Amino acid sequence: MKIILASPRGFCAGVNMAIESLELSIRLYGTPIYVYHEIVHNKYVVDTFRAKGVVFIDELNEAPEGSHLLYSAHGVSPEVRRIARERRLHTIDATCPLVTKVHLEAVRYAKEGYTIVLIGHEGHDEVIGTMGEAPQAIVLVESPEDVDRLELPTSTKLAYLTQTTLSVDDANRIITRLRERFPQIVNPPKEDICYATQNRQEAVKVLSQEADLVLVLGSQNSSNSQRLAELSQENGVPAYLIDGAADIDLDWFKGDETVLVTAGASAPELVVEDCLEFLRKQFGATVEARMVREEEVYFPLPRELRSLAGAAAAERA
């Protein structure tokens, strides 16, 4: 067996920032620390933090008044922030800056009188937070068929935004249909789908052409990980989305094939290494790392933590 190890893969800058924020919060404030929804959509990461005393909640009344609450990388709506203030929660905002960009665009377009078409997946944490910025002005579409069902006057001021973790190809199909139906529609000067999502999809698109099978490390509720598996399947290469080596089924393999291994933006490198080691032991697999595009993006810690982190470092010194 030959393994092609895709790069870039795994943690993006937003995920790194969110995880570092939660780790630092534990050191500064102790536990329990409360997190609104999952810090990132990855079972291994969530289970690891839960074992350290982190409590993941879906309703703010689950966090005692005055406790520390961290907003996940996916962002939250203004209503969530309002309730958190009422409950006197000490909040730490670990929203990915690229998600914050979409929120700010939604606010701007709504203030300017636009109806906003948001391209995304219903129920995803990021979509819920973005729609909460201007609920009366935003309509959600998930497919070109949804675009066809839109009933809007031709004179409507229209803008579109996208969830940051979409398939680039899927989003482009929807955008093309939007432009066909509504030529007046406008969009932000810089696209919303994040660099890491695009780079990981590009790597799968390029490298899966050499593979018989693709393994994507990531959880089922991870949108960007799901898109990687779907992209491979659309290219005619079987793909499996797995949380780790324990999910691998030996019946997937003959033992002499070429396997592409990649990871979604919320999957830690540790689960990738475990997977590679499993395949080495089972099939004597050799690993060839392949770089499609370099990434050097870094996001700073939330402002709520920066000064405290500096003070803590100075005290240790």
For residue 138, what are the contacts with CB-CB under 8 A and spacing of at least 6?
106, 110, 115, 116, 117, 118, 130, 131
* CB < 8 Å & 24+ apart, contacts of 83-89: 84/60, 87/60, 87/61, 87/63, 89/34, 89/60, 89/63, 89/65
Identify which of 27, 34, 31 has the alpha carbon closest to the alpha carbon of residue 55. Answer: 34
Backbone angles phi, psi at 60, to 5 degrees: -65, -25
Identify which of 94, 125, 87 has the alpha carbon closest to the alpha carbon of residue 24. Answer: 94
Q: Record the tokens describing residue 256, joined without a space.
A: 């002499």
In the annotation, is 105 catalytic? no
Q: At what angle do helices 223-234 and 168-181 cross, to 10 degrees?
A: 90
Q: Record the tokens describing residue 185, joined without a space.
A: 């529609």
Q: Which residue among the candidates 126, 202, 277, 304 is catalytic per the annotation?
A: 126
Residue 26's identity, in one-letter code, is I
**CA–centroid distance for 19 within its chain:** 13
Contact (CB, 8 A) for 274 and 244: yes
Contact (CB, 8 A) for 89 and 65: yes
Backbone angles phi, psi at 119, to 5 degrees: -90, 115
Residues labelled as active-site residues: 126
